[in-house]
Amino acid sequence: MDNKVVYYTGCWANYYGPEIGKAFVEVMRQNGFEVLVPEQKCCGMPMMANANLKGAEKNFQFIMKSLYAASSPGYDVITTCPSCNMMLRKEGRKFFDSEEAKYVSEHIFDADEYVVRLYREKRLNTNFGEVPLKVFYHNPCHLKVQGLTKEPLELLKLIPGIEVVGTNYNCCGLSGSYGMKKQNYKRSVEIAQKVWEEAKNSGAEAVVTECGGCGLRIKEGTGLKILHPMVLLNQAYKAYKARKAA
């Protein structure tokens, strides 16, 4: 393959939601890309949020050197986790800047953002089969603050059969490790109520969100299945193949 992208999996796809990473790789392959996965560590965002700046800096600098070495021939860097994306693209540079970090930050994209970019440039393989599903879309805070609110919905509209019956742009209440702590749990759940109520009342069969943490909190309060957009996109490619083979 001539086209290559560098994938930063992040902890969620690497340890908790491997189906997301697998789906992203398949989506890229359907579009003629080879996916490179260099050595990596946690992006450091959780460490920063808990005042471990030394640990965050150590991880961040390691990642930047690794991603720079892989992407410096001119390849884009893609993430499937909004928090990782914000750390590697913006937040990390405020504290631990370097030439490698500057380069990576100028070549990094969220997966939804990248796929929509391909579509807008008429480079996206749009051989999609139907995925009949009513979904509620939750936009994570770490995408929203980067201005990435239109791209996820634009991506979902590309998939035949997907009906978006509701959208939400409020915080889910988890806020990284904040809502995981005993002393914050009650307040965290109070914040989550609006998201829970809107999702449950929407008639959706599943909730779509890019953030694994948001997904945990929303599933806790709704019991609904949580899906990443890349998983749905991969299902659409599979559905097309199945239809052609029938």
Consecutive H or E run containing 104? helix 99-105
First to last CA, the chain: 28
The overall longest dimension of the chain from CA atoms, in Å, is 56
Contact 204, 165 (CB under 8 A): yes
String of b and e for 224-244 (b: at least 16 CB within 10 Å)?
Answer: bebbbbbbbbbbbbbbbeeee
What 3-state DSSP class applies to 175?
Answer: coil
Each domain of the chain, given as residue ranges in start order, spans 3-119, 133-245
Report pLDDT for 180: 84
Angle between helical axes of 18-30 and 111-120 (0-180°, round to 10): 20
6: closest CA among 59, 78, 62?
A: 78
Q: What is the pTM of this model?
A: 0.95
Condensed to tens digits (0 to 9), the pLDDT of residues 47-86 reads 998 999 999 999 999 999 999 999 999 999 999 999 999 9
DSSP 178: G
Residues 6+ positions from 122 with CB-CB distance below 8 Å: none
Q: What number of other Cβ atoms are within 10 A of residue 162's Cβ?
A: 24
pLDDT digits (tens, 9 = 90+) for 12-41: 999 999 999 999 999 999 999 999 999 999
Considering the domain delimited by 133-245, tell me its CATH architecture.
3-Layer(aba) Sandwich (3.40)
- Residue carrying structure tokens 């929203």: 144
Tell me: the pLDDT tens digits for 107-146?
A: 999 999 999 999 999 999 999 999 999 999 999 999 999 9
Q: Does domain 3-119 have CATH number 2.30.30?
A: no
- CA dist 150 to 17, 128, 185, Å? 24, 21, 31
Please give the helix or strand (H or E) that residue 36 lies within, else none: strand 33-36
Give pLDDT, residue 175.
Answer: 84
Tell me whether the CATH fold assigned to 3-119 matches the one assigned to 133-245. Answer: yes
The answer to whether 110 and 85 are in contact (CB under 8 A) is: yes
As a whole-number percent, the residues of the chain with pLDDT over 90 amount to 94
Give residue 62's Cα distance to chain centre. Answer: 21
